[in-house]
Chains A and B, each alone.
Chain A
Amino acid sequence: MSEQATINVINGLYIVAAILFILGIKFLGSPRTARKGNALSALAMLIAVGVTLISEEIIEFEWIILGVAIGSVIGIILARTVQMTAMPQMVAIFNGFGGGGSALVAAAEFIRVNDLVTTGDLNEVSVDVAAIAIFSTVLGALTLTGSLIAFGKLQGLVTTRPLLLPARNIINALLGIAIIAISVYLVFEPNNPELYALVGILAALFGILLVIPIGGADMPVVISLLNSYSGVAAAATGFVLGNNILIVAGAVVGASGLILTRIMTKAMNRSLSNVMLGGFGAEGGSSSGGAEVGERPYRSSTAEDVAMILGYSQSVIFVPGYGLAVAQAQHAVKELAGLLQERGVEVKYAIHPVAGRMPGHMNVLLAEADVPYDQLLDLDQSNPEFERTDVAVIIGANDVTNPAARTDPDSPIYGMPILNVDSASQVIVLKRSMAVGFSGIDNDLFYLDNTSMYFGDAKKSVQDLVREVRELD
């Protein structure tokens, strides 16, 4: 009876945790409540962990405390010291750790169940437990190594150029078939720990080969997808352990990752398979570009000209791209925006979904520079705004402003949703040179009559503008 009561309390608290997770995600829907939402999710996690600790299966507390202590110290240090520009690789590595955890837990449970069969405490390893455990280990292992490669690419440790092995599609196909074949065999002949380890290792190798050929600018898609995988792997482990809170939390994360993946591929005008098969940008950079670039006439401006245009306009929209983040120019831009606002200029920011290295990355970088979030416009809000705007200032963005996406059916980016900056009265492009963007194609925007190029490093250029605007009047 009292044992039953304990089980009921445990299950009741798990339900409370599940509700708090759902509420936490719901509160993430608005910037005002988002912090509370995150705190609720953390509370849910605390409850779930606490409940698990009081359940009587637990006998080895020392080891648990050791693991939690190590993980907490590393987690706290990483979370406190990471730069906001490095957020994508941070999420990637956390994600990989979660996936790796799932793989190990499923493996340990698989081994335990097999041992029970050996000792005669259990008749057989049921087919569904074996299948889901293998699935969880495979998915978790490839999430771990895939995330590590994504981390390496974003951190600049692994080449960001797509790395194409000669027969990579054949190798990947063979590897995939081998993983499936061994997995199926294991489902029916589960008592093979060596084979189980082998399938985990092959999956880890598969994760490396999957992400290696994908270019650095496609990492937002990869991170979103791996995020989804780590959720699904956790849910699968929940099935193995018969633990519903794992299933609920894992499913929510899986859905979240899938939605973000879809948003990213849509914003890049690519299909998911196109991204995953990789190689985009490997050919583009060398084949096109070259001869054509720089031969068409364009207008170049000085800091003084640009400051005049900005200072005497009514409305300005900044269009930040990843180049701005790389140059750490967001604080200078915020300062420039402040000066313009003092002069009565209306200032906004238009953010393309792929402006950073992960979904919403640019918004975080601007928030760090203290830009209020209600000045940030997303794609759908921005485009009607440009028509009413005097000056659009593009800083470190390229392909997402290329009108060819609307007008030239032959362009590789045709159909990609872009920011229609060309409908502003004047366009100013801050850029290092006339070099092509990630897609490897020239940007028609630069040659329009209402466009001026202002060359230089993003941060220094904006700082010069700040000085020039101060000197107006």
Chain B
Amino acid sequence: MADPLLISVLIFVIAIFTGYELITKVPPTLHTPLMSGSNAISGIIVIGAIVVAGQGHSNLSIVLGVVAIALATVNVVGGFLVTDRMLRMFRPRERPDNTNKAKPDSESQK
């Protein structure tokens, strides 16, 4: 078995390249949701915080861990919700090019 650190570095490098390829394809119109969505993903640190707090190693590590959990959870929950709120607003042109005011039927029919 190879050195775990080496495997982690490999994973890191591959993830960077994958991320780069995918993100360059995101059109400018979606850059704000991309940023707030990826920001929510960086709240993944919450699982590190859970491990640190959950091990109950010392009072100090529990305090640090719980504060970190709270901070990261704001990042995750707020980030995904606000991204969804934005993306809900993005809609294409109403199918026929008539300009009668669109009723909010697009939701209910789906």
Contacts and interface: CB of A to CB of B under 8 A. Distances in A.
Interface of A: 21-22, 24-26, 28-32, 34-35, 37-39, 41-42, 45, 48-49, 52-53, 55, 57-61, 63-64, 66-68, 70-72, 74-76, 78-80, 82, 84, 87, 90-91, 94-95, 97-98, 100-102, 104-105, 107-109, 111-112, 115, 128, 223-224, 227, 230-231, 233-235, 237-239, 241-257, 259-260, 263, 338, 341-342, 351, 353, 356, 358-361, 363-364, 367-368, 370, 372-376, 378-379
A21 B53 CA distance: 25
B75 A67 contact: no
Nearest to B85: A79
A111 B68 CA distance: 15
Contacts of B41: 21, 24-25, 41, 45, 231, 249, 252-253
A58 B58 contact: no
Q: Which 6 A-B pairs have the closest CB atoms?
A: A71-B73, A67-B69, A360-B31, A75-B78, A75-B77, A58-B54
Interface in B25-82: 25-58, 60-62, 64-82
Given A30-B30, A243-B51, 19 more contacts: A22-B22, A25-B26, A28-B30, A48-B47, A60-B62, A71-B73, A71-B74, A75-B73, A79-B85, A80-B85, A109-B48, A227-B42, A250-B45, A253-B39, A256-B19, A256-B38, A341-B99, A373-B92, A374-B93
Nearest to B64: A108
A230 B75 CA distance: 11
Q: Which of A39, A68, A239 has the most CB of B within 10 A?
A: A68
A359 B33 CA distance: 9
A59 B15 contact: no
Contact of A108 (B46, B65, B89): B65
B82 A78 contact: yes
B48 A237 contact: yes
A141 to B, nearest CB: 12
Contacts of A223: 35
B35 to A, nearest CB: 6
A105 to B, nearest CB: 4
A326 B69 CA distance: 35
Interface in B90-110: 90-94, 99, 102
Contact of B28 (A26, A104, A257, A351): A351
Given A104-B68, A364-B33, A373-B91, A60 B56 contact: yes
A94 B28 contact: no
Contacts of A63: 53-54, 56, 62, 65-66, 69
Contact of A52 (B16, B51, B91, B92): B51
B74 A75 contact: yes
B11 interface: yes
A42 B40 contact: yes
A112 B74 contact: no
A67 B67 contact: yes
B51 A97 contact: no
A453 B4 CA distance: 65
Contacts of B99: 338, 341-342
16 contacts: A24-B37, A25-B23, A25-B38, A29-B22, A38-B33, A42-B80, A58-B55, A71-B70, A79-B81, A94-B78, A107-B64, A108-B52, A237-B45, A251-B12, A358-B31, A358-B35
Given A22-B22, A59-B54, A244-B8, A75 B35 contact: no
Nearest to B7: A244
Contacts of B19: 22, 25, 251-256
A378 B51 CA distance: 44
A26 B19 CA distance: 9
A373 B90 contact: yes
A31 B38 contact: no
A233 B69 CA distance: 15
A454 to B, nearest CB: 25
Q: Which of A30, A59, A94, A234 has the most CB of B within 10 A?
A: A94
Given A49-B50, A244-B11, A367 B28 contact: no
Contacts of A80: 81, 85
B33 A360 contact: yes
Nearest to B47: A52
Contacts of A359: 28, 31-32, 34-35
A245 B44 contact: yes
A313 to B, nearest CB: 17
B59 to A, nearest CB: 11
B35 A251 contact: no
A255 B89 contact: no
Given A74-B74, A79-B82, A105-B48, A372 B53 contact: no
Contacts of A100: 68, 71
A6 B88 CA distance: 39
B74 A367 contact: no
